[in-house]
Amino acid sequence: MLKLSVLDLLPVRTDQTSADSVAAAVSLARRADDLGFTRYWVAEHHNMEAVAATSPAVLIAHLAANTSRIRVGSGGVMLPNHAPLTVAEQFSLLEAMHPGRIDLGIGRAPGSDPVTAYMLRGTRAEESGVDSFPGDVELVAGLLGSDDTPIADAFDAASQPGVVIPLRGRDYSLRSTPRTASSPMLWLLGSSTYSAQLAARLGIAFVYAHHFGQSGIDSALDLYRREFQPSPALTEPTTFLTVNAVVADTRDEAEALALPQLITMARLRSGGTLGPRMTVEQAQAETLNPMEEDLVADQSARWIIGTPDTAGAQLTALATKYGVDEVMVSPIASDHDGQDVRVGAGAERTLELLAAQQNS
């Protein structure tokens, strides 16, 4: 049976505060946990009032504490914004708190505008972060690792996992703490052959961001599988896809719930800014120009929007076509005027209907 997971960007609707969006994420994660979804990932975006997900590690701690079974992770941590040791330590701590339930998904986009990216990097502000990305991913992979050695024996550096850091003429052994008996699963996110090739070379799992674009998926997955080099963390190539999805009891309702996000992305792609997500009624009252209408139609054809049977068949066909056994759904449904702002009813209904269809 196809495994389903969830990607939550924590959008903020026009009738919500950021606190409402976080509360809705907790409710959605609990629902995904109850319904048997495999993972629940959150993103990293900065200086965007329309998105509440600025710190994946903080959100993961909160969501994992409010769920019991589901794996919780980042989709992803934008590594150019962070020091590799900071990321490794944060996720080692999360793994210590929630053993066997933490995923570390890493991306190389800044997740923001150039000025915000500059401020996030602090003393590394003059660096783009992109050139050092392959080495930084390798550092994170090396710093992580499971180790159940008793603390009294932990000072035998020769027997410990980690990395060697050359500094001022000397070599220093370094690894992330706290030491954990298990390790977060490391994933590299991307929508190009660049990320696929890097994931293959490092022997880590790869996620193709199908919700961003589909043009290079065949070449990226083929390259990843062909060039994959086994590592201590992973012996075989492992991958899945992300997709945008809205599922409702009728096609008309699914299209209505999808319209706010369709308009938002159409305006972003045509040079606009990312504003708060509209309600269904607000979106239906909008007047679109010809370019926006074309973009809405294009996206609608590429996203999964429909009834449970139609959506389930599309997901299964997608998984079969690309040889994956898991698809991560970004439930981008909005809601109607007057609905509870601390619950994403449309998103939760999408998960409920997909789970029921998969189990039928």
Higher pLDDT, 147 or 237: 237
The pLDDT, as a whole number, for residue 160 is 53
The pLDDT, as a whole number, for residue 124 is 61
Higher pLDDT, 114 or 153: 114
The backbone region for 36, taken as left when phi is positive above 0, alpha when psi lies in -120 to 50, beta otherwise, is: left
Task: Quick: pLDDT tens for 99-119.
Answer: 999 999 999 986 567 787 778
| Whether residue 137 has pLDDT greater than 50 | yes
| Distance separating alpha carbons of residues 17 and 9, to the nearest angstrom | 15
Interior/surface letters 317-336, b for 16+ CB within 10 angstroms, e for the rest: ebbeebebebbbbbbbbbbe
The pLDDT, as a whole number, for residue 128 is 57
Model confidence band, residue 167 (pLDDT cutoffs 50, 70, 90) = confident
Dihedral over Cα of 238, 219, 212, 253: its sign: negative
What residues does 190 pair with on adjacent strands? 208
DSSP-assigned letters across all residues of 173-232: EE--SS-BSS-PEEEEEESSHHHHHHHHHHT-EEEE-TTT--TTHHHHHHHHHHH----S
The pLDDT, as a whole number, for residue 158 is 45
Residues sharing a CB contact under 8 Å with residue 236, sequence separation 6 or more, in sequence order: 228, 230
Task: Quick: pLDDT tens for 53-109.
Answer: 999 999 999 999 999 999 999 999 999 999 999 999 999 999 999 999 999 999 998
Model confidence band, residue 347 (pLDDT cutoffs 50, 70, 90) = very high
| Distance separating alpha carbons of residues 353 and 355, to the nearest angstrom | 5
Model confidence band, residue 125 (pLDDT cutoffs 50, 70, 90) = low
All domains in the chain, ordered by first residue: 3-147+165-359 (3.20.20.30)
Counting residues of the chain whose pLDDT is more than 90, the rounded percentage is: 77
CB 176 within 8 A of CB 141: no
| 101 burial level (CB within 10 Å; 0-12, 13-18, 19+) | buried
CB 125 within 8 A of CB 162: no
Task: Quick: pLDDT tens for 221-274.
Answer: 999 999 999 998 899 999 999 999 999 999 999 999 999 999 999 999 999 888
| Distance separating alpha carbons of residues 235 and 317, to the nearest angstrom | 27
The pLDDT, as a whole number, for residue 84 is 94
| Distance separating alpha carbons of residues 36 and 239, to the nearest angstrom | 20
The pLDDT, as a whole number, for residue 78 is 94
